[in-house]
Amino acid sequence: MILDAAVYLSAGVAALATLLMIFQKNPVKAAMLMLTALLATAGMYLAFSAQLLAVLQVIIYGGAIMTLFIVALSVTPQAWKDKPVPGRAVRVLGLAAAAVLLTELLQVSTVLRAASAAPGFSETGTLAIAMNLFGRFAFQFELLSLVILASIVGAVALASRRTAP
């Protein structure tokens, strides 16, 4: 029952975010709505007990691809237009939303720590993939994150040089 509600909630958030993204004129807001849809999809994977797919969804699509989109959008001329500073109410609302998300993450992590696997449960396939990805190639993943960070810094530096008076 609870899993059904989680699937329907995640699917509804993903569908709503996708519809809003399609009709959004601001590219940065559209990218954030796309990220919301991707994270909601990862939530559906979790509800279906496909933890590896959920983690890969967040790492590959939510992390790497969305970083590429945001970097590409940040160097467009429209991104450098002066935007109004958000009011105090928006900042307080954002802080409250962040606190709610942190609380939820802490609750989920405590539940997952207490959960145990069923007696007949075997993680041979998933465990082998995870060990290959994060075991032998952990250094390569970390090195790739530094390369991505360096490219972001370089793109911002080049874009700021072009727009400086």
Q: What is the pLDDT of residues 36-79, one digit of tens each?
A: 998 999 988 888 888 888 888 888 888 888 887 777 777 776 66
Task: Please report the pLDDT score of residue 163 as a whole number.
Answer: 52
Please give the Cα distance from 127 to 132 (Å, whole number).
Answer: 9
> Is the Cα dihedral 91, 98, 157, 31 positive or negative?
negative
Higher pLDDT, 154 or 84: 154
Categorize the per-residue pLDDT at 13 as very low, low, confident or very high, splitting at 50, 70 and 90.
very high
Please give the Cα distance from 67 to 104 (Å, whole number).
Answer: 24
Please give the Cα distance from 142 to 27 (Å, whole number).
Answer: 29
Q: What angle do CA 146, 151, 155 make, to 5 degrees?
A: 150
Please give the Cα distance from 97 to 63 (Å, whole number).
Answer: 20
Q: Which helix (H) or strand (E) holds 96?
A: helix 88-114
Residues 50, 37 contacting (CB under 8 angstroms)? no
Please report the beta strands in 43-100, taking only residues with DSSP state E, as ranges in sequence order. Answer: none
Task: Give one word for 49, left, alpha or beta, with left for phi > 0 and alpha for psi -120 to 50.
Answer: left
The model's pTM is: 0.50
| Residue-level length of the chain | 165
Task: Please report the pLDDT score of residue 5 as a whole number.
Answer: 85
Please give the Cα distance from 113 to 97 (Å, whole number).
Answer: 24
